[in-house]
Structure 1
Amino acid sequence: MNKILMPYSKGALRLKNHLVMAPMTRSRAIDNLPNALMAEYYAQRTGAGLLITEGTAPTPEALGYPRIPGIFSQHQVEGWQKVTSAVHAGGSKIFVQLMHTGRIGHQDNLPQGAVLVGASDLKAAGQIFTDTAGLQDYSQPQALTTDGIANIIGGHVVAAQYAIQAGFDGIELHGANGYLLEQFLNPTVNNRTDEYGGSLQNRSRLLIEMAKAIADAIGPQKVGIRFSPYSTLGDLPPFADDEVFETYQHLAQELDALGIAYIHIAVNMPIPQRTFDAVRTAFTGTIILCNGLTPETAEAALHNGFADLVAFGRSFLANPDLAERIAQQAELNQPDYTTLYTPGAQGYTTYPTLLKSTLELT
């Protein structure tokens, strides 16, 4: 049997295999509430040992995109309980990804009274979809005050506690893809002059303080984090290779000291081998590798010394039975890109499985 399908155990993380479903925004949460359709979607994909949910807003001002779920109200907790129950019935673990989009958002996507915020007041170039007026330029963010930062940390702690109440096995902080935590890491977008700006240690401060506060509240083995070193998503200007290397080496060391469960690396841009090596040397917990993997390259990655687990995004989107297809070396469905973010079941829970295809042929 391939290693990818064998059980995995490190620390408190015990999974039925080495296969992870990556977080993917799907925009099916009407009124930002998890629902029965979402529970069906995640239940279909319990071939993965670990599922990581789509980015989920920990606070109202974090809702940068339309129809993304939140986890800041009791109604949302109740909606998520349907999802976690369905996933656990399939024998899998599930972490909720806490995603604060920061300056990547639009005022029309936020609840009344919420304000778009960021590490600074620098507006991102580009556009975002709104249900009110289609594509619009990103809104102007307000720079967070130090009190605002404290409130953001507190909001994430409450969201993490809600997540445990909802039945999640843990939470993943979204420190990638140009969203709030990565905005703080970037020396151009983060032009602050207080203790959260300037040196890489200061720019890393929010992320480390947040991880520690959540670990103190729910336990470090229920905390993971996603990074995308060298990424320029979300209008992030690139910065010097040496400083990127030192930033993620520092983060890996600090997070290892906290004893969190995992670091999840999304390879959105090429990452030098020395950065992979520095993260692996500094971090003794689980490392998940994601982006651009095939079943064959994922299997190879599990043997090369960096990744403990491998994650698939769009392959899982289009193949609810990805684990079975890997086991049978079967052909994979291709995603329908026109239905990635549309409301409703089409292109969400309607992808065929091998079993369904076999039954239709008999």
Structure 2
Amino acid sequence: MTDSLFQPLQVGRFQLANRIVMPPMTRSRATQPNDVANDLMATYYAQRAGAGLIVGEGTQIAPNAKGYAWTPGIYSDEQIAGWKKVTDAVHAKGGVIFAQLWHVGRVTHPDNINGEQPISSSAIKADGVKVFIDNGTDAPGFVDTAMPREMTQDDINLVINQFHQAAKNALLAGFDGIELHAANGYLVNQFIDSESNSRTDMYGGSLENRLRFLDEVVETLCDAIGADRVGVRLAPLTTLNGTVDANPEETYVAAAKVLNKYGIAYLHIAEADWDDAPLMPMTFKQALREAFAGTLIYAGKYNVDKAVQALSSGVADMIGFGRPFVSNPDLPERIKNGQPWATHDANTLFGGAEKGLTDYPTFTE
């Protein structure tokens, strides 16, 4: 029954061993003060190298792209060297790992970005959204996001250049490719969704204009490292971090068509996965399949049965299992052998050290 999850697959330039993806999950354990990936993270990812594809945790492309304390960056030499430990460890176990390139836009606080005002598509605050800060003086904790300023054309050009350089840095760090984080209410998503973009220039108003920033970022990523090393993550129905679109199906099928013209390696769809979340209709998934010719990955509360069903229906080529990978470093083996899954401890997801990161045993252990 699980055979379909263990069929090899060509994704971009890579032959992947199975259809199981470890999706990006923030774990907030980068070495401070410079947000550097470390040996602990190398152990964590190497333990999970049985996934057909690992997408690393969200990694900020610039100092002001950071939304939360203790997340890793990929813009300094020290950060590139830190990530090299991680990619070397994963490759030593035969794994394939992409870096997720991240700019949070308005989903931050000045304490996380050297006192600067956050930037966004528009001067619209992410109401009710909190971010984790560590300002070095008070106890670390959650605070409300700050009011952003609307990005100028110079800001837009700068961020596009930062994405370009970050993709090159990812290859220097040994990553096999990159995933653009265009989901979950962060900067690219803030341009896409109608309710977070009130611009009146070429980046706002019409759907074509709202997709322009996504288009230009993907173009520069493909130019930097080749389309066959680029993936993009979208979240059509999520309302995380305050981004809402008035017509998600129209918007995201159009986004998929934009991505399709570049021949990128994959499109990664994050389904809304909280309790009472809106279900993504099969008609919507079929429309995305028709719009995008590359590999389609879906993630969001998948179990084995649901995953096999998604593959056999033809709407998905790979399935991401998020939190199950936290507590089951050997998740592919457990799936293959029909073994039970351990549950994760929610209290150790973010921050800390080995506990809740690298100390979950395999089934045989």
Q: Would you say same fold, with TM above 0.5?
A: yes
* Alignment match, 1:304: 313
* Alignment match, 2:62: 59
* Alignment match, 1:121: 123
* Alignment match, 1:266: 270
**Counterpart selection for 2:170 from 163, 179, 195:** 163
Residue 355 of structure 1: how far off its partner (Å): 2.1
Q: CA–CA distance in 2 between the matches of 1:188 and 1:256? A: 25
* Alignment match, 1:181: 188
Q: How has the CA–CA distance of structure 1 residues 195 and 238 changed in structure 2, closer, same or farther, with 3 Å as cutoff?
A: closer
* Alignment match, 2:251: 247
* Alignment match, 1:359: none
TM-score by length of 1: 0.95
> Could you report, residue by residue, the CA deviation over 1:250-280 in whole angstroms, capped at 9, with x for unpaired residues?
1111211111000001111422222211110
Does 1:95 find its partner at 2:102? no
Q: CA–CA distance in 1 between the matches of 2:256 and 2:243? A: 21
> Could you report, residue by residue, the CA deviation over 1:48-90 in whole angstroms, capped at 9, with x for unpaired residues?
0100001000111111111000000111110011111111111
Matches within 5 A, 1:298-337: 298-337=307-346
Q: Counterpart amino acid of 2:267?
A: I
* Alignment match, 2:275: none
**Counterpart selection for 1:349 from 325, 346, 358:** 358
> Could you report, residue by residue, the CA deviation over 1:313-340 in whole angstroms, capped at 9, with x for unpaired residues?
0000110010111111111110100011
Matches within 5 A, 1:12-161: 12-31=13-32, 32-110=35-113, 112=114, 114-126=116-128, 127-132=130-135, 133=138, 134-161=141-168
Q: Counterpart amino acid of 1:262?
A: Y
> Could you report, residue by residue, the CA deviation over 1:7-63 in whole angstroms, capped at 9, with x for unpaired residues?
222442310111110100000002210000000000000110100001000111111
Q: CA–CA distance in 1 between the matches of 2:13 and 2:287? A: 24
Residue 282 of structure 1: how far off its partner (Å): 1.4
Q: Counterpart amino acid of 2:319?
A: V
Does 1:279 find its partner at 2:288? yes
Is the contact between residue 231 and residue 238 of structure 1 (CA under 8 Å) also seen in structure 2?
Answer: no
Is the contact between residue 117 and residue 143 of structure 1 (CA under 8 Å) also seen in structure 2?
Answer: yes
Structure 1 segments of 4+ aligned residues over 3 angstroms from their partners? none
> Could you report, residue by residue, the CA deviation over 1:261-313 in whole angstroms, capped at 9, with x for unpaired residues?
00001111422222211110011110001011002211221111110111110
Q: Counterpart amino acid of 1:49?
A: G
Q: CA–CA distance in 1 between the matches of 2:109 and 2:342? A: 33
Q: CA–CA distance in 1 between the matches of 2:290 and 2:245? A: 25
Quote the RMSD (CA, aligned, Å): 1.3
Which segments of 5 or more consecutive residues in structure 2 lack a partner in the other structure? 273-277
> Could you report, residue by residue, the CA deviation over 1:83-134 in whole angstroms, capped at 9, with x for unpaired residues?
1111111111100001111111111122x36441111111111222212441
Q: CA–CA distance in 1 between the matches of 2:79 and 2:210? A: 32
Is the contact between residue 106 and residue 138 of structure 1 (CA under 8 Å) also seen in structure 2?
Answer: yes
Is the contact between residue 195 and residue 244 of structure 2 (CA under 8 Å) also seen in structure 1?
Answer: yes
Q: Counterpart amino acid of 1:5?
A: F
Q: CA–CA distance in 2 between the matches of 1:345 and 1:211? A: 36
Q: CA–CA distance in 2 between the matches of 1:224 and 1:49? A: 15
Q: Counterpart amino acid of 1:3?
A: S
TM-score by length of 2: 0.94
Q: Counterpart amino acid of 2:119?
A: V
Q: How has the CA–CA distance of structure 1 residues 129 and 198 changed in structure 2, closer, same or farther, with 3 Å as cutoff?
A: same
Aligned length, in residue pairs: 352
